[in-house]
């Protein structure tokens, strides 16, 4: 009974965190688009790559303007403007391929003569020396340079989004009064609530993480309809430490757990639902210490033989 109760409580919590983290991720992504975060980071990084790091403001800005004047970037900017509903003249690409970057550098004439951009000229000079001035290899080096830089930029964006996700998650926890401590207590003590969340979890596990903001909001509302103690409909007593501190602690726990992200909680939810429905999956023979496969791999020596009697007619 304890095992089933604990597992069903874990399923309910995983469902809650999956729905809330999906909402939080949608809000963070919406904020990023509103700010033009990826486009700004891309342009700033290109300017830093091509310009002189010792004169960040002037040379890097000049390098970026020269790069933005290329036909390659202009085409990418025009394509980005087609997807904008308003302010299309301010639309900028959030991504650029390594091949497009190398083609834009070629368009700047960096492969045939110095451009006056210290960062770019220094990198091209090194690539020309390494490749023997073969254009294909120089462009391959430029593509590798761009990919490596974008990889580091992607890691920086993840750190930024994780920090913002913490703030957004805390806001959701407080505004929605989502205390992990109280939700856990409610699930643990109410079999009917656990059954309701289990049914909802089975449906959610059959879906995906790619939902819209409106669908995420509706999912949160449905969680409240199930009977989970979320929202500000319950009795509050700010003067009571017994009420206040478990809520504050529960809000912080919720915010920290939401930082793990919707994909993590979707995977966790799917595994818990599968475990609840069919029990634990038996291990493979290669991972089962008692199996003949494992014993044969670890214990059998060349002198070991198997005698087999063959019965005659």
Q: Is 313 a domain residue?
A: no
Tell me how far apart the alpha carbons of residues 80 and 74 are, in angstroms, rounded to a whole number: 10
Q: Is 79 a domain residue?
A: yes
Tokens coding 125: 């000079």
Q: Is 289 a domain residue?
A: no
CB 181 within 8 A of CB 253: yes
- Is residue 43 domain-shared with residue 148, that is, in the same domain? yes
Last residue within a domain, chosen from 128, 159, 190: 159
Helices 241-258, 180-189: inter-axial angle, 10-degree rounding: 100
Q: Is 133 a domain residue?
A: yes
Reduce the secondary structure of the chain to three states and give it as a string: CHHHHHHHHHHHHHHHHHHHHHHHHHHHHHHHHHHCHHHHHHHHHHHHHHCCHHHCCHHHHHHHHHHHCCHHHHHHHHHHHHCCCCCHHHCCCCCCCHHHHHHHHHHCCCCCCCCCCHHHHHHHHHHHHHHCCCHHHHHHHHHHHHHHHHHHHHHHHHHHHHHHHHHHHHHHHHHCCCCHHHHHHHHHHCHHHHHHHHHHHHHHHCCCCCCCHHHHHHHHHHHHHHCCCCCCCCCCCCCCHHHHHHHHHHHHHHHHHHCCCHHHHHHHHHHHHHHHHHCCCCCCHHHCCCCHHHHHHHCCCCCCCCCCCCCCC
Look up the domain containing 106 and give its range.
36-159
CB 111 within 8 A of CB 135: yes
What does the buried/exposed string (b/e) look like for 250-281 if buried means 16 or more CB atoms within 10 Å of the residue's CB?
bbbbbbebbbebbebbbebbbebbeebeeeee
283 vs 169: which has the higher pLDDT: 169
- Is residue 148 domain-shared with residue 174, that is, in the same domain? no
User: What pLDDT digit, counting tens, does each position of 110-163 carry?
Assistant: 888 888 888 999 999 999 888 777 889 999 999 999 999 999 999 999 999 999
Last residue within a domain, chosen from 96, 126, 159: 159
Last residue within a domain, chosen from 159, 192, 216: 159
Q: Is 220 a domain residue?
A: yes
User: What pLDDT digit, counting tens, does each position of 22-80 carry?
Assistant: 999 999 999 998 888 999 999 999 999 998 777 667 788 889 999 999 999 999 888 87
Query: What pLDDT, on the 0 to 100 scale, is given for residue 173?
Result: 93
- Is residue 93 domain-shared with residue 53, that is, in the same domain? yes
CA geometry: angle at 280 spanning 296 and 290, to 5°?
20
Q: Is 298 a domain residue?
A: no
**Model confidence band, residue 209 (pLDDT cutoffs 50, 70, 90):** very low
Query: What pLDDT, on the 0 to 100 scale, is given for residue 34?
Result: 87
- Is residue 20 domain-shared with residue 127, that is, in the same domain? no
- Is residue 181 domain-shared with residue 214, that is, in the same domain? yes
Alpha carbon 2 to its chain's center: 34
**Model confidence band, residue 309 (pLDDT cutoffs 50, 70, 90):** very low
- Is residue 176 domain-shared with residue 262, that is, in the same domain? yes
Query: What pLDDT, on the 0 to 100 scale, is given for residue 290?
Result: 67
CB 256 within 8 A of CB 210: no
Q: Is 294 a domain residue?
A: no
- Is residue 116 domain-shared with residue 207, that is, in the same domain? no
Tell me how far apart the alpha carbons of residues 280 and 171 are, in angstroms, rounded to a whole number: 37
- Dihedral (Cα; 222, 228, 233, 239), 10-degree rounding: -150
CA geometry: angle at 162 spanning 157 and 27, to 5°?
95
Tell me how far apart the alpha carbons of residues 123 and 236 are, in angstroms, rounded to a whole number: 63
- Is residue 212 domain-shared with residue 254, that is, in the same domain? yes
Q: Is 310 a domain residue?
A: no
- Is residue 172 domain-shared with residue 202, that is, in the same domain? yes
Question: What is the domain count for the chain?
Answer: 2
Tokens coding 116: 């006056």
Nearest to 174 by CA among 223, 229, 232: 232
CB 161 within 8 A of CB 32: yes
- Is residue 244 domain-shared with residue 274, that is, in the same domain? yes
- Is residue 100 domain-shared with residue 55, that is, in the same domain? yes
- Is residue 120 domain-shared with residue 229, that is, in the same domain? no
Tell me how far apart the alpha carbons of residues 157 and 211 are, in angstroms, rounded to a whole number: 22
Tell me how far apart the alpha carbons of residues 98 and 150 are, in angstroms, rounded to a whole number: 9
Q: What is the pTM of this model?
A: 0.73
């Amino acid at each position: 009974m304890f095992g089933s109760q604990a597992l069903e409580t874990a399923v309910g919590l995983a469902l809650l965190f999956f729905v809330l983290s999906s909402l939080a991720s949608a809000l963070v992504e919406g904020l990023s688009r509103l700010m033009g975060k990826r486009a700004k980071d891309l342009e700033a990084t290109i300017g830093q790559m091509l310009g002189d790091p010792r004169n960040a403001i002037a040379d890097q800005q000049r390098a970026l303007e020269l790069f933005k004047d290329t036909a390659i970037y202009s085409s990418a900017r025009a394509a980005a403007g087609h997807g904008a509903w308003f302010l299309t003249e301010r639309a900028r690409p959030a991504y650029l391929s390594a091949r497009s970057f190398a083609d834009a550098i070629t368009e700047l004439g960096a492969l045939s003569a110095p451009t006056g951009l210290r960062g770019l000229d220094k990198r091209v000079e090194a690539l020309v020396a390494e490749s023997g001035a073969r254009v294909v290899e120089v462009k391959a080096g430029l593509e590798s340079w761009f990919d490596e830089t974008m990889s580091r930029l992607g890691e920086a964006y993840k750190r930024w989004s994780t920090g913002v996700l913490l703030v957004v998650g805390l806001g959701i926890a407080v505004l929605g009064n989502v205390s992990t401590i109280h939700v856990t207590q409610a699930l643990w003590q109410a079999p009917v609530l656990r059954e309701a969340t289990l049914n909802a979890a089975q449906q959610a596990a059959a879906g995906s993480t790619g939902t819209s903001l409106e669908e995420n909001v509706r999912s949160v509302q449905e969680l409240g309809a199930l009977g989970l103690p979320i929202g500000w409909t319950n009795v509050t007593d700010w003067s009571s430490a017994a009420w206040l501190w478990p809520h504050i602690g529960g809000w912080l726990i919720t915010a920290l757990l939401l930082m793990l992200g919707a994909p993590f909680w979707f995977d966790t939810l799917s595994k818990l639902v599968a475990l609840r429905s069919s029990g634990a999956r038996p291990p493979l023979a290669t991972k089962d210490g008692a199996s003949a496969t494992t014993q044969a791999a670890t214990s059998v020596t060349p002198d070991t033989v198997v005698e087999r009697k063959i019965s005659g007619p």
